[in-house]
Amino acid sequence: MHFTRGSIRAFASVISARLKPNLMEVAGALMVALLAATAIGAPYLAPYDPAAAVANSFGDPAPPSRAFPLGTDELGRDVLSRLIWGARISLEVGLAAMAVTLAIGVIVGLLAGFFGGLTDFVLMRLTDIMLSFPTLLLAMAFVTVLHPSLLTILLVIGLVSWTGVARVVRAETLSLAQRDFVTAARSLGAGPARLIAIHILPNVMPLIVVMAVLGTSSTLLLDAGLSFLGLGVPPPTPSWGRMIEEATTYFRTAPWLAVFPGLAIFSAVLGFNLLGYGYLRRTAPRRSL
Amino acid sequence: MFRFLLRRIVVGLGVLLGVSLITFLIAFVVPADPAVAMAGAKADPQTLAIIREQLGLNQPLYIQYARYLRRALHGDLGRSYIRRENVTALILERFPATAILALSAMALALMLGLLMGGLAAAWRDRALDHALFVLSLGFVSMPVFWIGTLLLIVAASYLKLFPLGGFGSWSALVLPTITLGLGLAGYYSRILHTNLGEAMGQDYIRTARGKGLSPRGALIRHALPNALAPLLTLAGLDLAGLLSGVVLTETVFDWPGIGRLAFEAVFNLDIPLIMGTVLFGAVIVIAANIVVDALYAWLDPRIRLGDLG
Amino acid sequence: MGLLRFSSLSALLLLVPLLGCGRGNDALQLPPNARILHLASLDDIPTLDPAAGYDTASWTFEQMIFDTLVRYSDAGVDLVPDLATSWQESADARTFTFHLRRNATFTNGRAVTSADLRYEIERVLTPATRSKGIEYYRDIIGAEAFVAGRASTVSGIETPDPWTIIFHLAAADPIFLDKLAMPFAAAVPREAAQKWGDDFSRHVIGSGPFMLRQWRSGQQIVLVRNPHYFDPSLPRLDAIVMQLGVDPELEWLKFQAGDLDISAIPPAEFPYVMKTPRLRNLTLHITTLSTDYLGMNCRMKPFDDVRVRQAFNYAIRKPKLIAILNGRGVAASGILPPGLPGYDPGIRGYPFDPAKARALLEAAGVGRNFAPTLWLRADQQEITLAESVQQDLAQVGVHLILKPVAWSALLEAIRQPHTVEFFSLGWEADFPDPQNFLEVLFARRQWGSNNDSFYANPRVDQLLDEAAPLSDRARRYALYDEAQQLILGDAPWVVLYYPVTYVIRQPWVHNYILNPLRPTRFDRVWLAPHPHETP
C-alpha cells in the first residue's frame, strides 16, 4: 500500500505522546523481533545447508518427516532451512530498500517543502510522473533491463516507492517552515542548510520513523512479488517469494511447499504493519497514512 | 472552472511527456539488441544490420524519441518485436479481461471495506473495533500471489468449487476477485474508520446529537455520507491503477489481461510492448486524476489547483 | 457530495457493457456433430505468418494452414511430396527442379502456382519483412543482389510455367530440400499478404488442410477444415480448437475430465502418470532432435584451459538432472542427438567423477575460491536445473553464480566476445543433418554468430568444409563423426541431455503421431465416437 494523500496535521501530538504501547504494537514488535532473531541466527538455527541436496527427492518433493519437518523440495533441499535463511535475505532486502526509499523521499520532500516555488513545482511534477506508473510493472521493467541482483532490486524498489514519503515529508516541511521557531531562526540569519538540518529534520523525524516501519512492510511485499515473478535475488539465495513460485508447479501434489513461505511473508509484513499502524492509531488516530 | 480544468490538463500533458520520456529511456538502456529479439537466435550479423537500419536504430536517440512521440500521439505504439502485431491493438484486446476483474474486485473491496470500516466505527474502541482493525491489517499483509495460490489449492483443487483459473465463465471470476479484492478491502476499511472518526468530531454532528440523534444514527445519516466521498475518490484512483493491469493476480490465475501481456513482454524483452503497457497504464492514471479533480472542482468551486497537491 | 457519489456510480455503470465482451462463443458456425480436436496451451500463438514464425507454437498451425513444396513424413525426417509431386536434384546439388500438383487452391479460390512459391521466398528475402528465415535462401543465385535492393527479382528462381519451379544455387547444398520444407518457403497468395502487410498473421490465407476461423489473443484459436484441400480425403477432423492461457495444471485437469483430447503432463503429475498403467498406456513420447548443454567460452580464463572444461564435464551429475526432469530427457554423451542421421551410438562421453574433476582443476591451478557466472534464460525449469549444477559444482569447490536473464538478452550477450564465460542453452535441429549442429555451432567463422563458446580447431574446420558439399551420405557422416569426436575431446560444452517430449491422448484419438523435428500434423488425426463429443 502506498501512503495516501491524507490530511496532514501538525505532529506535535506524536512527539509528545508517551510511550505506552498497546497490544497490537507489542504483538507487532514481537513478530518483528522474531524475524530479526531468525535472520541473525540463521546459521545456527538452520538444520541443513539451504542450497545443498540433503535428501533424494529429485523431481518429486517429499512431504514433512522427522528428519525434515517441512519436507524437501524437488532439488532435495530442506525446506525448513531454506525458510530460515529466507528470513535473512527478506529482511536485508526489505530494510535496505526502505533505506533507499527514505533517502530519496526525504530529500525530495525536504527540498520541495522548504524552498517552494519552482523547486517545489519541478520536484512535485517529478513525483506525479513516478506516481502515474504502474508500480510493479515499472519495477519489473527496470529489474529486467538491469538484470536481477541484490543491488538492482534494492535500487529499483527504492526508485519506484519514494513518492509517498516525498509527499508526506513535503507537507510536513511546508507547515514547519511557517512556524514561529523556524521564522525566528531565519531572521537570526540561519542559512537553508542549517535551518533544514537543525530545525526541520528533527521535527519530521518521528514521522519518518513511522513511515520507515510501514514502508518496510511495502518493500517486503514488493520484493516478494518480484521474486514470485522470477525477478528476485538470484539462486541459490533462498527467497520466500521464489520458494512460492517454485512451489506453484507442485501445488496439487505438494501444497505444503507453498504454504510455509507464504506464512513467513505474511507474518513478517503483518508484524511491521501492526507495529506501525498500532502506534499511529494510539497517537494520531485521525492520520491516514 | 474552465481555466482550472485547462490548467489541470496542461499539467497532465506535461506529466505525460515526462512519463513517455522515462518509458522511452528504459527501452534504450535495454541490454538486448532489438534486432536480435526480432530476428531470433539463429540470425547472421548481416541480417541484423539490415533490421537495425530499418528500425532506425542507428539514428540519434532524440530523433528516435521524437518519432516515437509523434506516433504515440496518433495512438500508434509500434509493433511487438516478437508477435509483430500492433501494440495498441494487443493492449485493447486484453483490456476487457482486466476491466472485468478490476471492476469486480473493486466492488468487493468497497462493499467489504464499508462493512468492516462501518462496523468498526460504530463500535469504536470495543473488542469488535480492534478485531476488525487487526483483520484489515491481515488483509493488506497477505501477498496476493500467495492467497491466490492458496485459494487455488483449497477452493479449486480440493473442494472443486471453482475452476482452476482461466477465463470465460462467471465462476472463474470468483477466486481472482477475492484475491485482488481482500487487500483493498482491508485498506478501505481502515481509511473509512479514520474518516468516520474525523467526521464524528465535527460541529454538525454535535448539533445533530444535540437534537437527540443517537450516536449510530448520526454516524449513518451524517458522518457516513461525508466520509464516503474521499473514499470513493481514492477508489476511483485505485481503479485506474487496477485497470492498468494486475500482474500478480493475472499471473496466478492465467487471466488474459494486460498484466499477463506485460509479464510476457518483460520476459521476452519485447520492448515496444513493455513501453506500450507501461505508457497505457500511466495514461489511465493521469486521466483518472484529471477526472477526479475536475469532479471535485465542479462540486466545490472553492477548491483550487493548489489545494490538490 | 451526493452528486459525486452518483457520478462515480454512473462512471462504473458505463464500464459495465465491457462485461459482455470477450465472453460467450460467438457463432463458430460448426455443424452440430462436428469432429473437433480440443487442445490447450498456456502461451498465445506468436504468429501465423509463415515469413515470421520460427517456433513450435507458430509452426504447429502454420504447417496446417500452408503447404510447402516438400514436407517431412508424419513420424520421420524423410521428405515426402506436398505441393510438388516430383522433383530432380542435379548431381552437383546446385539445381533443383520441382513439378507442382495442379489441383491445389488457396482458400480464396485461386489456384496455387509456381509464382506463389517464388513470391514467398522473395518476401522472406525482403529485408522489410524482417524474416527469421532470410539466411536459408541466400545461397540461391541472385539472392544477395535482391536482398541488397539491386534486383527486383531473384534471378536464380525460374518459373517457366505455372506448374514448374527451378532453383539455381551458388554453391552445392545437399540440404536445400530441407530448407524448402520450412514454413518460410510455403505458398502464399501475394494479393492477401500485400493487402494485410504486418497484419497478415491475423488474416492468413493458405492452401493447407485447415483454415483460420477465429483467433482471440490469449483466449482461443480455432481452425476449421478446408473443404477445397487438394487431397479430398483429408483432413479427417472438422475443426481444431485450442484454448489459450491454460496453465499446464489446468490443462491436465481438463484432460482428465475429458474436455481435452491431448494434453501435456505437468511435472508434478508425471510420477503418478507413469505409476498408473491406464494413464501410462495413453502417453506418447519422442526424443527430439535437440541437445541441451552448458557452453564455456574458450577464449576466457580459466575456460581457455582444456583441463578446466574437462573438469566441468566430469563434475556434473547428469542422472540427477534426468531425475529432476522426471525422466523427460536422455542423458547426453555426444553433441548429435539420437535419431539424427549421422548419430554415433558408440560415443561414451564423460562419466561422473568428481575426484577426477577436482584433480584436473588443481592441475590447471584453479583454487577453491573460483566463482564463475552461469548465464541462463529466466525460466523456472532452466533455473531449477542450473541450481542442480550449482550443487554439483559446489562439491568440487566451484561456487557457481547464476545470472538469469531474458531470452533475447542472453542471445545478445553470448555473441559478444569475452562477455559470457559460462552459459546454459539448447540447440534444436532445423534440418536432420550433422552440419546443422557441428558447422553452425563450432566452425571458426561462426564466431559472433552461433559459435557461442568461441571454439576453434583448424582440423575441425577442415573436416567441416570437406563434409559440407558431399551428397554421399556415408562419407559425409563419417567426416562429421570425426569432427564431433575432436570437439568432444576439446570439451567446449558440457552436453547435458536430449529432451524427450511426452504427451497424453484420450483413447479415442487416432493417428496422433509425434515427429522428432516438427510439431504433430493434424491432417490425418481422427476421433472415434466418444462420450465427450458435444463441443
Query: Is residue C37's pLDDT more than 80?
Result: yes
Pair (B15, B111) in one structural domain: no
Query: For residues A79 and A244, what is the distance between their CA atoms, to the nearest angstrom?
Result: 11
For residue B33, name the pLDDT band (cuts at 50, 70, 90).
low
Pair (C494, C511) in one structural domain: no
In CATH, what number is assigned to the domain containing residue C15? 3.40.190.10
Query: For residues A279 and A21, what is the distance between their CA atoms, to the nearest angstrom?
Result: 7
Q: Where are the alpha helices (DSSP H) in C108-210?
A: 114-125, 143-147, 176-180, 190-196
Mean pLDDT on B198-226? 74
Residue B289 lies in a domain: no
Residue closest to C288 by CA, chosen among C514, C80, C60? C514
C-alpha cell at C188: 502464399
**Residues B164, C247: contact at Cβ < 8 Å?**
yes
Pair (B121, B235) in one structural domain: yes
Mean pLDDT on B94-116? 92
pLDDT at site A8? 37
Strand C79-81 versus strand C84-89 pairing type = unpaired
Query: Is residue B14's pLDDT more than 50?
Result: yes
* Cα end-to-end span (Å), chain B: 17
Query: Is residue B303's pLDDT more than 70?
Result: no
Query: For residues B221 and B199, what is the distance between their CA atoms, to the nearest angstrom?
Result: 12
Fill in the amino acid letter for C160: P
**Residues C425, C293: contact at Cβ < 8 Å?**
yes
Pair (B117, B249) in one structural domain: yes
pLDDT at site B70? 85
Question: What are the angstrom distances between the C-alpha of C494 and each of B88, C112, C331, C405, C429?
Answer: 44, 47, 11, 20, 18
Given CB atoms, is A58 within the 8 Å cutoff of chain C?
Answer: yes
Verify whether the Cβ–Cβ distance A244 to B146 is below 8 Å: yes
Q: Cα angle vertex C6, ends C3, C10, to 5°? A: 140
For residue B41, name the pLDDT band (cuts at 50, 70, 90).
low
Closest-approach residue (CA) in chain C for A249: C268
Query: For residues A281 and C352, what is the distance between their CA atoms, to the nearest angstrom?
Result: 62
Given CB atoms, is A65 within the 8 Å cutoff of chain C?
Answer: no
Question: What are the angstrom distances between the C-alpha of B102 and each of B115, B243, C23?
Answer: 20, 6, 16
Mean pLDDT on C257-267? 89
Q: How far apart are the CA of C445 and the nearest CA of chain A, in angstroms? A: 30
pLDDT at site A21? 67
pLDDT at site C224? 95
Which helix (H) or strand (E) element contains residue B38? helix B34-39
pTM: 0.80
Pair (C262, C237) in one structural domain: yes
B3 burial (CB, 10 Å; 0-12 / 13-18 / 19+) is exposed
- What's the pLDDT tens digit per position in C463-494? 999 998 888 889 999 999 999 999 999 999 99
For residue B1, name the pLDDT band (cuts at 50, 70, 90).
low
pLDDT at site C160? 93
Pair (C528, C397) in one structural domain: no
Phi-psi region of B199 (alpha: psi -120 to 50; beta: other; left: phi over 0): alpha
Residue closest to A254 by CA, chosen among A48, A74, A51? A74
C-alpha cell at C499: 529432451
Pair (B248, B102) in one structural domain: yes
Verify whether the Cβ–Cβ distance A258 to B138 is below 8 Å: no
Given CB atoms, is A251 within the 8 Å cutoff of chain C?
Answer: yes
pLDDT at site B127? 85
From B22, B40, B72, the end of a domain falls on B72
Pair (C107, C255) in one structural domain: no
- What's the pLDDT tens digit per position in B51-83? 777 777 777 778 888 888 888 888 888 888 777
Phi-psi region of C24 (alpha: psi -120 to 50; beta: other; left: phi over 0): left
Pair (C490, C518) in one structural domain: no
C-alpha cell at C48: 501465423
Whether the ipTM is more than 0.90: the answer is no
Pair (C363, C467) in one structural domain: yes
Given CB atoms, is C402 within the 8 Å cutoff of chain A?
Answer: yes
| Domains contained in chain B, number | 2
Query: For residues A162 and A102, what is the distance between their CA atoms, to the nearest angstrom?
Result: 7
From C167, C199, C231, the end of a domain falls on C199
**Residues C52, C168: contact at Cβ < 8 Å?**
no
Pair (B116, B202) in one structural domain: yes
Closest-approach residue (CA) in chain C for A245: C380
Query: Is residue B307's pLDDT more than 70?
Result: no
Residue B307 lies in a domain: no
Percent of chain B with pLDDT over 70: 88
From C199, C229, C251, the end of a domain falls on C199
Pair (B50, B135) in one structural domain: no
Given CB atoms, is A236 within the 8 Å cutoff of chain C?
Answer: yes
Residue B288 lies in a domain: no
Write out chain B residues lying below 8 Å of C22, CB-based.
Answer: 96-97, 100, 167
Pair (B107, B37) in one structural domain: no
Strand partners, C294: C424, C494
Pair (B153, B48) in one structural domain: no
- Please count the residue pairs, one from chain A and one from chain B, whose beta carbons lie less than 8 angstroms apart: 156
Strand partners, C291: C427
Pair (C339, C297) in one structural domain: yes
Write out chain A residues lying below 8 Å of B241, CB-based.
Answer: 134
Buried-state track A60-90, b at ≥16 Cβ within 10 A, e below 16: bbbeeeeebebbbbbbbbbbbbbbbbbbbbb
Pair (C128, C221) in one structural domain: no
Domains and CATH numbers, chain A: 29-41+86-288 (1.10.3720.10)
Pair (C20, C121) in one structural domain: no
Query: Is residue C6's pLDDT more than 60?
Result: no
Closest-approach residue (CA) in chain C for B295: C4
- CA dihedral sign, ordered C462, C463, C464, C468: positive
Which tops the pLDDT comparison, C331 or C133? Answer: C331
Residue closest to B54 by CA, chosen among B75, B73, B39? B39
C-alpha cell at C78: 524423410
Query: Is residue B216's pLDDT more than 90?
Result: no
**Residues A266, B142: contact at Cβ < 8 Å?**
yes
Q: Which residues of chain A have pLDDT under 50?
A: 1-18
- What's the pLDDT tens digit per position in C213-252? 999 887 899 999 999 999 999 899 999 999 988 878 888 8
Which helix (H) or strand (E) element contains residue C215? strand C210-216
Verify whether the Cβ–Cβ distance C448 to B229 is below 8 Å: no
Query: For residues C522 and C513, what is the distance between their CA atoms, to the nearest angstrom?
Result: 9
Verify whether the Cβ–Cβ distance C388 to A253 is below 8 Å: no
**Residues C235, C256: contact at Cβ < 8 Å?**
no
C-alpha cell at C25: 462463443
Query: For residues A59 and A39, what is the distance between their CA atoms, to the nearest angstrom?
Result: 29
Write out chain A residues lying below 8 Å of C379, CB-based.
Answer: 230
Domain that holds residue C349: 290-499
Q: Which other chains touch chain C, taking contact as 3+ CB pairs less than 8 Å apart?
A: A, B
Pair (B210, B61) in one structural domain: no
Pair (B166, B20) in one structural domain: no
Closest-approach residue (CA) in chain A for C247: A249
* Cα end-to-end span (Å), chain A: 9
In CATH, what number is assigned to the domain containing residue C490? 3.10.105.10
Residue B302 lies in a domain: no
Distant-in-sequence contacts of A257-260, Cβ < 8 A, 24+ apart = A257/A61, A257/A71, A257/A73, A257/A79, A258/B146, A258/B149, A258/B150, A258/B153, A259/B150, A260/A70, A260/A79, A260/A83
Query: For residues A139 and A133, what is the distance between their CA atoms, to the nearest angstrom?
Result: 10
Q: How far apart are the CA of B83 and the nearest CA of chain A, in angstroms? A: 19
Question: What are the angstrom distances between the C-alpha of B98 and each of A85, B66, B94, B179, C15?
Answer: 37, 31, 7, 14, 12
Domain that holds residue B261: 94-267
Question: What are the angstrom distances between the C-alpha of A257 and each of B117, B150, C188, C385?
Answer: 35, 11, 51, 18
Q: CB within 8 A of C414, min separation 6: which ones?
A: C295, C375, C420, C423, C425, C452
Helix axes B87-122 and B271-299, enclosed angle (nearest 10):
50
Mean pLDDT on B17-31? 79
In CATH, what number is assigned to the domain containing residue B124? 1.10.3720.10
**Residues A148, A239: contact at Cβ < 8 Å?**
no
Query: Is residue C98's pLDDT more than 70?
Result: yes
Query: For residues C503 and C495, what is the distance between their CA atoms, to the nearest angstrom?
Result: 25
Write out chain B residues lying below 8 Å of A251, CB-based.
Answer: 149, 152-153, 157
Which tops the pLDDT comparison, B299 or C107? Answer: C107
Mean pLDDT on C186-201? 92
Q: Is C194 helix (H, G, I), strand (E, B) or coil?
A: helix
Residue B273 lies in a domain: no
Helix axes A256-283 and B144-151, enclosed angle (nearest 10):
130
**Residues C507, C280: contact at Cβ < 8 Å?**
no
Q: What secondary structure letter does DSSP report for B158?
A: I
Residue closest to A277 by CA, chosen among C85, B186, B281? B186
Which of A194-208, B197-211, C298-312, C387-401 is least confident? B197-211
Pair (C60, C159) in one structural domain: no
For residue B42, name the pLDDT band (cuts at 50, 70, 90).
low
Pair (B101, B56) in one structural domain: no
| Domains contained in chain C, number | 3
Residue B245 lies in a domain: yes
Strand partners, C295: C423, C493
Which helix (H) or strand (E) element contains residue C476? helix C473-490
Write out chain B residues lying below 8 Å of A125, CB-based.
Answer: 11, 14-15, 18
Residue B290 lies in a domain: no
Residue B87 lies in a domain: no
Strand C401-405 versus strand C373-377 pairing type = parallel
- What's the pLDDT tens digit per position in C361-417? 999 998 888 999 999 988 888 889 999 999 999 999 999 988 888 777 787 788 888
Write the DSSP assignment of chain A as a string of letters: -----------HHHHH------HHHHHHHHHHHHHHHHHHHHHHH-SS-SSS--SS-TTSPBPP-SSSTT-B-TTS-BHHHHHHHHHHHHHHHHHHHHHHHHHHHHHHHHHHHHH-HHHHHHHHHHHHHHHHS-HHHHHHHHHHHH---HHHHHHHHHHHH-HHHHHHHHHHHHHHHTSHHHHHHHHTT--HHHIIIIIIHHHHHHHHHHHHHHHHHHHHHHHHHHHHTT-SSPTTS--HHHHHHHHHTTTTT-THHHHHHHHHHHHHHHHHHHHHHHHHHHH-TT---
Q: Cα angle vertex C259, ends C256, C265, to 5°? A: 45
pLDDT at site A14? 42
User: How many CA within 13 A on the CB side of residue C75?
Assistant: 7
**Residues C330, C287: contact at Cβ < 8 Å?**
yes
Write out chain A residues lying below 8 Å of C391, CB-based.
Answer: 51-53, 75
Mean pLDDT on C500-526? 94
Pair (C31, C42) in one structural domain: yes
Pair (B57, B104) in one structural domain: no
Q: What's the CA dihedral at B108, B113, B116, B119 to 10 degrees?
A: -120
C-alpha cell at B70: 509523434
Pair (C177, C133) in one structural domain: yes
Q: Which other chains touch chain B, taking contact as 3+ CB pairs less than 8 Å apart?
A: A, C
Q: CB within 8 A of B307, min separation 6: which ones?
A: none
pLDDT at site C413? 81
Given CB atoms, is C344 within the 8 Å cutoff of chain A?
Answer: no
- CA dihedral sign, ordered C395, C396, C398, C403: negative
